[in-house]
């Protein structure tokens, strides 16, 4: 009888240890990478027109719909973005994960088109959108009415303006930053959507007040005191969050999806809510 109790205790102990190990192992694969946070940021833009003080942008990036990202998560993200008090929504690319196929593009874009905001939804493309199918991605970008690829639009408050422009992808396209703001007065406040934050370190003549980017996923695996283990950018300052660069200010989203490795550790996916202020 005593041996039976001991064996039962040992069995329960092993089951508990095994369960705990399974939970730890599954956490970065199942729990953290699908736990999308809504993170609020105050973003200083010194040349922000007074009428746009407190202007709020919901920023989405790197949905990466496909084999690593179920459609149910995309639907939830779209619904949550639409429920946040906002003036506009910015999307900075990589809506799919596929390579050389259009099915994922045609599936995810009708959901992206459900985004709405008082002052509009503005989107550009990321490297995966080009490698999946450039023409199909551009088709949906135009069909959505969100297209700022290589062009810009003005949001007005009385006689004051805020310009929103879009670049091509750094690796798969011509950036076209100067083209995007062609004809826009140099002194005006300009926000650029550019998928890859390394775009900020390329040659361009336009004075850009703020660049919104994604691409890095925040590094996906971030260790205390070390930071991101792997970053797919040249400038390691461009991991995530607000950065004052040499030529412009940037905000880099941690994004929603993942790329090659479907894990996140200490780097939750995010819907970023950016409140602009002229206070430095």
Q: How many separate domains does the chain show? A: 2
Residue 55 and residue 1 share a domain:
no
Residue 119 and residue 49 share a domain:
yes
Residue 14 and residue 152 share a domain:
no
Residue 121 and residue 108 share a domain:
yes
Task: Compute the half-sphere exposure of residue 184: CA atoms within 13 Å on the CB side of its CA.
Answer: 28
3-state secondary structure 99-167: CCCCHHHHHHHHHHCCCCCCCCEEECCCHHHHHHHHHHHHHHHHHCCCECECCEEEEEECCEEEEEEEC
Average pLDDT over residues 164-177: 98
pLDDT at 259: 84
Residue 122 and residue 29 share a domain:
no
pLDDT at 15: 32
pLDDT at 1: 52
Q: List, for residues 43-87, the tens digit of each pLDDT value.
A: 999 999 999 999 999 999 999 999 889 999 999 999 999 999 999
Q: What percent of the chain has pLDDT over 90?
A: 84
pLDDT at position 217 over 90: yes
How would you classify the pairing of strands 222-223 and 210-213?
A: unpaired
pLDDT at position 41 over 50: yes
- Show the CA angle centred on residue 269, arms to residues 273 and 208, nearest 5°: 45
Of the listed ranges 19-23, 167-171, 201-205, the one predicted with least confidence: 19-23
Residue 132 and residue 30 share a domain:
no
pLDDT at position 21 over 90: no
Average pLDDT over residues 91-109: 96
Residue 112 and residue 21 share a domain:
no
Average pLDDT over residues 173-192: 98
pLDDT at position 24 over 90: no
Average pLDDT over residues 238-247: 97
pTM attached to this predicted model: 0.89
Strand, coil or helix: what is 204? coil
pLDDT at position 123 over 50: yes
Residue 163 and residue 268 share a domain:
yes
Residue 211 and residue 238 share a domain:
yes
pLDDT category, 183, cuts 50, 70, 90? very high
Residue 221 and residue 169 share a domain:
yes
pLDDT at 156: 98
Residue 21 and residue 139 share a domain:
no
Q: List, for residues 128-143, the tens digit of each pLDDT value.
A: 999 999 999 999 999 9
């Amino acid at each position: 009888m005593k041996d039976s109790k001991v064996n039962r205790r040992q069995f329960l102990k092993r089951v508990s240890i095994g369960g705990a190990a399974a939970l730890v192992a599954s956490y970065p694969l199942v729990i953290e990478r699908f736990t999308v946070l809504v993170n609020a940021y105050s973003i200083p833009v010194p040349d922000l027109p007074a009428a746009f003080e407190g202007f709020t942008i919901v920023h989405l990036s790197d949905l990466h719909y496909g084999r690593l990202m179920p459609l149910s998560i995309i639907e939830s993200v779209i619904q949550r973005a639409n429920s946040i008090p906002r003036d506009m929504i910015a999307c900075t690319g990589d809506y799919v994960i596929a390579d050389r196929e259009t099915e994922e593009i045609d599936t995810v874009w009708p959901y992206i088109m459900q985004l709405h905001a008082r002052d509009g939804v503005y989107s550009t493309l990321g490297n995966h959108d080009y490698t999946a199918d450039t023409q199909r991605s551009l088709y949906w970008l135009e069909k959505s009415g969100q297209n700022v690829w290589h062009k810009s639009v003005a949001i007005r408050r009385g006689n004051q303006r805020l310009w929103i422009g879009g670049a091509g992808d750094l690796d798969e396209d011509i950036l076209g930053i100067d083209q995007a703001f062609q004809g826009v007065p140099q002194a005006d406040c300009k926000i650029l959507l550019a998928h890859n934050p390394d775009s900020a370190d390329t040659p361009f003549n336009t004075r850009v007040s703020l660049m919104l980017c994604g691409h890095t996923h925040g590094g996906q695996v971030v260790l205390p005191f070390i930071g991101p283990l792997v970053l797919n950018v040249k400038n390691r300052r461009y991991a995530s969050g607000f950065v004052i660069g040499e030529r412009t200010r940037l905000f880099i989203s941690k994004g929603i999806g993942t790329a090659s490795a479907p894990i996140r550790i200490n780097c939750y996916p995010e819907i970023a809510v950016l409140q602009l202020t002229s206070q430095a």
